[in-house]
């Protein structure tokens, strides 16, 4: 199954380190960063989960929460959490799904046989409160992810949902944004009272409108 941006994220039930969940009910009205790990007790994953745990307040500020999946058991997950908290100086406060049958991993296309048929790739899905997939990123098992980029991506999605703008290369929250080309100059003048700078007719910059 191939999941595309705009698709409804498939619902499922699964056992986790925080009990059994039904995904859509658990997600509620929050944004969800749903990401996979090739296996427990692996070095790159340990650093990723520790860093994600330290971002708890940053996720909460954006109305977002993390959900993790690995093909190992709940018992292994709980023992691994002890290692993560010991080595990464962070309290893991998000559920880790146990998926020994690889049912959820397969549902979300996290098993890539050409990479390794026995483990998940490092997949990330950003899912909005309507349960729509808004972004997906796939890394090979060997490469750790940049979760600061995931936060930046959520910032961009939330901003552009509320305003007729797009975010330029390497944009971070607070910087100028791009007026969408579908707006005329007259419309843009009404929507952006701080004004805008025209570089080309299709490239117009304006201060971030919610700042």
Contact 49, 68 (CB under 8 A): yes
Does the structural domain 163-206 have CATH classification 3.60.20.10?
A: no
**Domain residue limits, the chain:** 13-145, 163-206
Cβ neighbours for 210, distance < 8 A, ≥ 6 positions apart = 159, 162, 163
Per-residue model confidence as pLDDT tens digits over 141-174: 888 999 999 999 999 999 999 999 999 999 999 9
Q: Is 202 known to be catalytic? A: no
* Domain range 13-145, CATH class: alpha beta
- Find where tokens 């483990």 sit: 119
Is 70 exceeded by the pLDDT of residue 184?
A: yes
Alpha helices in 37-124 (DSSP H): 43-54, 56-61, 74-88, 103-107
| C-alpha atoms less than 13 angstroms from C-alpha of 108 in its C-beta half-sphere | 32
Per-residue model confidence as pLDDT tens digits over 187-202: 999 999 999 999 999 9
Pick the catalytic residue: 45, 84, 111, 177? 45
Provide the Cα torsion 29, 50, 104, 125; round to 10°: 50
* 3-state secondary structure labels for all residues of 186-203: HHHHHHCCCCCEEEECCE
């Amino acid at each position: 199954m191939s999941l595309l941006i705009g698709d409804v994220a498939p619902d499922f039930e699964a056992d986790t380190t925080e009990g059994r969940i039904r995904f859509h009910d658990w997600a509620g009205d929050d944004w969800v960063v749903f990401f996979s790990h090739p296996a427990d007790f692996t070095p790159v994953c340990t650093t990723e989960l520790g860093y994600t745990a330290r971002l708890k307040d940053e996720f909460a500020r954006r109305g977002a929460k993390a959900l993790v999946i690995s093909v190992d058991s709940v018992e292994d997950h709980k023992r691994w959490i002890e290692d993560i908290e010991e080595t990464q100086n962070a309290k893991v406060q998000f559920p880790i799904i146990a998926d020994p049958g690889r049912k959820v991993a397969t549902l979300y296309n996290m098993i890539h046989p050409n990479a390794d048929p026995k483990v998940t790739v490092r997949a990330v899905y950003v899912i909005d409160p309507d349960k729509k997939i808004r972004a997906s990123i796939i890394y090979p098992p060997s490469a750790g992810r940049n979760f600061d980029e995931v936060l930046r991506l959520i910032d961009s999605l939330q901003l552009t949902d509320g305003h007729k703008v797009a975010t330029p290369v390497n944009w971070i929250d607070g910087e100028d944004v791009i007026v969408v080309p579908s707006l005329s100059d007259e419309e843009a003048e009404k929507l952006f009272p701080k004004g805008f700078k025209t570089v080309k007719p299709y490239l117009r910059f304006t201060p971030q409108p919610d700042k």
